[in-house]
Amino acid sequence: MPIELVVALGGQRYRVERPFGALPAGNGRVTDVAVDSTGHVHVLLRYDPLVDAPGPRVVTLDETGRALAAWGDDLIADSHMIAAGPDDRLFVVDRDAHEVIICTANGQRLGGIGTRNEPLSPFNHPTDVAICPRGTIYVSDGYAGTRVHRFSPTGEALTAWGEIGDGPGQFLNPHAIWVLPDGRVVVADRENNRLQVFSPEGKWLAIWTGFHKPLDIWGDADGRLLVTDLIPSLSLLSSDGALLGRCRPVLNGAHGIWGDRQGRLYLAEGNPSRVTRLVPLPG
């Protein structure tokens, strides 16, 4: 009899499917995932650019897991996180190259934010990127910058906030970022074991706790948030931070998460390297 795993988040149950998708063998390790409006699943693979053999940084899958394309080895050095914008442009955080690369869904470079291979211009090993529905771009500058940067839809710097520490508005590692439908900015302050909430302009609003090294955040159209951490758990929060549900769908923690229009959730696991998909069950 085949084994079936089921997890629950609030009132919704999900069937656990893994590994999802035909990913290439090699040195690339799954680090993040994003789904565009067509339903294509873009899986980001991480390499050590100075040691590993060349390989694709992004593998694009259809909703059945069939590989449609593989690209990015000549575009991305140190893959960390990926986001799909409202217009289906992809934003890839090239962490140790200190740049956010903007490209089409098939890997054609359109531009970038930050000066490539120039730390502190303005990024210092950035971690994640989020795009609000009106196009404003937010970048968490986590591993050495301990800041959040805000840019116009065309990439002009607007403001930045944050400093190292564990007080309100301070960070040890702002590892992931998401923008709620009302414009509030939620940051996973990983090594401080919390989420911090800010106004669109960067005014500190709240701290939400109950996590161990939160890794990534994704929000649905209703403003609910899904947060992965290293317990490992997946938590469902209301838009005001109330815990609605919690489960353990992965082995060692998902470094990235995204959802699609059918309510399916995609979790990027680095160890073992794979994508886990959660499929909502009826009832």
Is the residue at 154 inside a domain?
yes
Is the residue at 283 inside a domain?
no
pLDDT at 283: 80
Domain encompassing residue 175: 20-273
Q: What percent of the chain has pLDDT over 90?
A: 97
Kindly report the pTM of this predicted structure. 0.97
Tell me phi and psi for residue 190, to 5 degrees.
-55, -60
Is the residue at 282 inside a domain?
no
Is the residue at 10 inside a domain?
no
CA pair distance 170, 104, nearest whole angstrom? 34
pLDDT at 232: 97
pLDDT at 266: 98
Is the residue at 2 inside a domain?
no
pLDDT at 1: 75
Of the candidates 97, 86, 94, the residue with the CA atom closest to the CA atom of residue 127: 94
Is the residue at 215 inside a domain?
yes
CATH number of domain containing 165:
2.120.10.30
pLDDT at 2: 83
CA pair distance 73, 146, nearest whole angstrom? 28
Of the candidates 88, 75, 87, the residue with the CA atom closest to the CA atom of residue 44: 75
Mean pLDDT in order along the chain per 10 residues (283 residues): 92 97 93 98 97 96 97 97 97 98 97 98 98 95 96 97 98 98 97 98 98 98 97 98 98 97 97 97 91
- Count of residues for the chain? 283
Is the residue at 231 inside a domain?
yes
pLDDT at 133: 87
Element (H or E) spanning 161, and its range? strand 157-161
Q: How many domains does the chain have?
A: 1
Is the residue at 279 inside a domain?
no
